[in-house]
Amino acid sequence: MQDVTTGNKEFKPNIVAFCCNWCSYAGADLAGSSRLTYPANVKIIRVPCSCRVNPMFVLKAFQQGADGVILCGCHPGDCHYVTGNYYTRRRMALLFSFLNYMGIEKERTRVEWVSAAEGAKFSAVMNDFVKTVTELGENKRLTDLRVKEGK
């Protein structure tokens, strides 16, 4: 992205954050109403439960240009649907380990538990994730050139 004022090319990663409706999305709300900031390049997608996210969502996000994907849900034990996030935990542990096995940088994927009361944690997590991915650079390994071509 071109910085208009300085003309410097600065990499701003696209981050997709899947947030569960009951905890993490509310956490993001709290962060906002508490005037805590997190980078604007985090795009939040609200899901009913973190376990709604299947691997296809994660891969599609990367295909469409995401440089990092983060999943946020209720803390284990606090799931609105009682057990959803326990399944998420197993699925994503396996998926992210597997993506890394295929050579995708492990820093590009993350799971964090953020409750509705943790506005500050939401902000801190997002800031940290964006910083990590910015340092890592553009996602070149799990991306679709045909999408980028259309830029």
Partner 1 sequence: MFKIRKENLNDLYAKISESMGLYIPIKKAGEVNYHVWGEGKEVSLETLKTVRSPKDAFFPQTENMMKFKTEGKNIDIIDVRDEKRPFVLFGVKACDYKAIEVLDKVFLMDPVDTYYKARRDAITIVTLACSKPEESCFCSVFGIDATAPCGDVTAWLDENYLYWQANTQKGEELTGKVSALFEKGGEEEVKSQQEQTKTILAKLPFATLDLSRFKPENLNELFNAPEWESLSEACLGCGTCTFVCPTCQCFDIRDFKTRDGVLRYRCWDSCMYSDFTLMAHGNSRTTQMQRYRQRFMHKLVYYPSQNDGLYSCVGCGRCVNKCPQRLNIVKVINTLGGKKND
Partner 2 sequence: MRDVEQKMIERAAALLQNGEVARVVGWKKGEFYFDPAPAVFETVDELKDFVYNGFCGANLSKYLIKVSKNEGKTAIFMKPCDSYSFNQLVKEHRVDREKIYVIAVECQGKLDIEKIKANGVTAVTNVEENGDKVTVSSLYGETVLDKADVMLGKCLTCKGKTHQAKDEDIILHEMPAPANNRFDEVAKLEAMTEDERFAFWKEQLQKCIRCNACRNVCPACSCLKCVFDNPSSGVAAKANDDRFEEQLFHVIRAFHVSGRCTDCGECSRVCPQNIPLHLLNRKFIKDIDGFYGEYQAGETAEGKTPLTSYKEEDLEVSDVFKGEGK
Binding site for partner 1 (CB under 8 A): 65, 146-151
Q: Which of 49, 72, 92, 133 binds partner 2 (CB under 8 A)?
A: 92
65 contributes a contact to partner 2 by CB under 8 A = no
The least CB distance from residue 103 to partner 1, in Å, is: 15
Structure tokens, 87? 């399944």
Closest to 42 in 3D by CA, of 132, 149, 146? 132
Q: Which helix (H) or strand (E) holds 46?
A: strand 42-47
SS3 content of the chain, % helix, strand, coil (to 5): 45, 15, 40
Q: Which has the closest alpha carbon to 13: 144, 135, 100, 111?
A: 135
**Least Cβ distance, residue 86 to partner 2 (angstroms):** 4
Q: Which whole-number Å values give the CA distances from 127 to 36, 38, 70, 73, 75, in the listed order?
A: 11, 6, 12, 17, 20
- Position 150 contacts partner 2 (CB under 8 A): no
Per this entry, what is the length of the chain? 151
Does 99 help bind partner 2 (rule: CB under 8 A)?
Answer: yes
C-alpha angle 29-10-121 in degrees, rounded to nearest 5:
25
45 binds partner 2 (CB under 8 A): no
Site string for partner 2, 8-37 (x = CB under 8 A): ------------------------------
Q: How far is the CB of 129 from partner 2 (least distance, A)?
A: 12
Q: Is 82 in the site for partner 2 (CB under 8 A)?
A: no
Query: Under the rule (CB under 8 A), what is the footprint of partner 2?
Result: 55-56, 59-60, 63, 76-77, 83, 86-87, 89-106, 110-111, 141-146
